[in-house]
Amino acid sequence: MSDTFRALQLSKTDDGQAANIVELTENDLMDGDVTVEVTHSTINYKDGLALTGAAPVVRTWPIIPGIDFVGTVTKSEHGSWKEGDKVILNGWGVGETHFGGYSQCARVKGDWLVALPDGISPERAMAIGTAGYTSMLCVRGLERQGIMPDSGDIVVTGAAGGVGSVAIALLAKLGYRVIASTGRASEANYLKGLGAAEIIDRDELSGEGRPLGKERWAGAVDAVGSKTLANVIAQTKYGGAVTACGLAQGPDLPSSVMPFILRGVQLIGIDSVMAPIEKRQDAWNRLATDLDMAKLDAMTETVGLSDVAEIAPKILAGQVRGRVVVDVN
């Protein structure tokens, strides 16, 4: 690598914030014990929040955003990593308080890194990204509650988004019957191609609902929150489980205790950002075996660093389908 590298830098301005491509040197990076030559990053919902300033995700200014990256270790003072190792980073406040993945070079704590599994290329690792790794955390959450393919259907909300698309592909490959809830009827064929058996209109779930509804599914992957999550819980079968990971509709949860005390429904919170390393490694190993890579490719588009700022408002508006990889070179 040359002495300088390119990065997308987000700065505060009098009018709000501005994103610019800048040339930096390693001296400009923040502290850490591992330096990584980054090849790819990605755009998640949280990156959209950071890049637009729609929520106060960024807490260090100026910042290099990007909550995910993949690359090759160039320097390491950490016992687990050596030059040449291929590594993935997801979360830990990177792209929020620590310089992130929209950069050709990153310096982070070695404790934050996961080895790129054999069988996943760097580009596909970012096609998975935080969104896909979170989908696997949801699948693991359902499995731990004993929700298996013969337990009944699984509903996936925010189906055409990043978390939703990967969740559908994973669940279908594992043998679950998947109901995809989407606001984009035009994406029905796309969702069926990923493995959804049934498509429902998200309006069925996004309005005011009853505390208990007809028992429709044994489990759920919910990326939407708010009334949608309340309705998903209210329509979960006796003994079922709902994994809650997102807030695309809102952070509120206007629910009641009825599904919990009358049907024994379990609500499982899913966090990817501070998840311990063993949980991450387990999720990434399972992604290497349980995700159909052809389906992953079909849900992914690749863009350059200079396209990132333009895509950010679209992901918040629910206009991005599947996953977006950023090739930083």
Binding site for ligand NDP (CB under 6 A): 44-46, 130-131, 134, 158-164, 182-184, 202, 206, 223-224, 228, 245-249, 270-273, 315, 318, 320
Closer residue to ligand NDP in complex, CB, 108/248: 248
Residue 88 to residues 25, 129, 274, Cα–Cα distance (Å): 22, 9, 15
Relative to beta strand 68-76, strand 34-42 is antiparallel
Q: Between residues 264 and 313, which has the closer beta carbon with respect to ligand NDP?
A: 313
- The pair phi, psi for residue 266, each rounded to 5°, is -105, 135
Tokens encoding 174 = 């594992």
Taking the alpha carbons of 170, 171, 177, 182 in that order, is the dihedral positive or negative?
negative
Q: Which residue is nearest to ligand NDP (CB)?
A: 161
- CA dihedral in degrees (230, 232, 238, 244; nearest 10)? -80
Nearest to ligand NDP of 29, 234 (CB atom): 234
Given the complex with ligand NDP, which of 172 and 315 has the nearer CB atom?
315
Spatial distance between the Cα atoms of 46 and 52, rounded to a whole number of angstroms = 10
At closest approach, how far in Å is the CB of 268 from ligand NDP? 11
Residue closer to ligand NDP, measured from CB, 34 or 232: 232
In the complex, the smallest distance separating the C-beta of residue 164 from ligand NDP, rounded to whole angstroms, is: 6
Cβ of residue 4: shortest distance to ligand NDP, in angstroms? 31
Measure the CA–CA gap between 111 and 55, rounded to whole angstroms: 27
Q: How many CB atoms lie within 10 A of CB 213?
A: 15
Which one-letter amino acid corresponds to residue 183?
Answer: G
* Closest approach of ligand NDP to the CB of residue 185, in Å: 10
Region of 252 (left: φ > 0; alpha: ψ -120 to 50; beta: rest) is beta
Smallest distance, Å, CB 228 to ligand NDP? 6
- CB-wise, 147 or 223, nearer to ligand NDP? 223
Q: Which two tokens mark 46?
A: 């949280």
Distance of closest approach, residue 10 Cβ to ligand NDP, in angstroms = 18
